[in-house]
Amino acid sequence: EPLMAALDDDNREVRFRAAFALEQLEPAVDINVRIRAWDTVVVRDGQNVYALCNLSLAHRESGNRDAAVETAYQAIELHPEHFYPYLLVAHLYAEKGEREAAERYYKCAIRCNPEHATTYYELAELHRLDGNYASAVEQYAEALQVDPDHSESHFGLGFCYNRMERYEDAIAAYGECLRLSPDHYVAHNNLGMAHRYRGSYETAMECFKHALELSPDYAAAQLNLGDTFVVVTSARED
């Protein structure tokens, strides 16, 4: 209640800080309260790009994508040099399955801020989901140029290299991912698949076992371990 009251303060910074504080409360406040808070800030300070972006995010979380897009567009019109509103619109188009529009806005975000690794990563994910693995590899590589420790970009590279049958590259990429995120059980599983594709069945089984140690109910690793065990056992019998 004191935070909501602060939204009526004459000081713009006080209003913004009150809305921001409402975002941090545990347990989380109702999404409609958050929308009302950011809307109050925007009505009184329509040039505040951060408030507009937070309002867009709140609309997105509520499921009102049209309002989220409209608010992000408003931020773009007021601040065409700021990368984050473009990124929000790209997210929204990607969620709607409008891949071409999403790619266009990701590229706008990159032009505004070429030093943001996550933008390259998300554009890479867009290409990966379309099965355009070569383009995805290029964008993951761009993300890693900005942030060499971006573990999910290493994971994405490994995924694409497996699909492109570049298994040595996949093994190297998953190795980097696991160096940075050793508990990434999906990476352990996928690394096992790269070794299996190369015919290194014993090493592959160790990778699947690592995945299951981290996530005992992970069905893909259970299946892969079982299948590989059958292959190894059959070879020994022969």
Residue-wise pLDDT for 140-149, tens only, equals: 999 999 999 9
- Output phi, psi for 46, to 5 deg: -65, -10
- pLDDT tens readout for residues 25-66: 999 899 999 999 999 999 988 889 999 999 999 999 999 999
Give the residue from 44, 47, 96, 31 showing the smallest Cα distance to 69: 96
Show contacts of 97-102: CB within 8 Å, 24+ apart. 99/126, 99/130, 102/126
Instruction: State the first-to-last Cα distance of the chain, in angstroms, to the nearest integer.
Output: 75
Q: pLDDT value at position 233?
A: 85
Whether the predicted pLDDT of 235 surpasses 80: no
- Which band of pLDDT confidence, cut at 50, 70 and 90, is reported for residue 238? low
pTM above 0.85, yes or no: yes
Average pLDDT over residues 212-219: 97
- pLDDT tens readout for residues 85-122: 999 999 999 999 999 999 999 999 999 999 999 999 99
Q: pLDDT value at position 10?
A: 87
Tokens found for residue 206: 């160790």
**How far apart (Å, rounded) are the C-alpha atoms in residues 159 and 111?**
27
Average confidence score pLDDT of the chain: 94
Give the single-character DSSP code of 9.
-
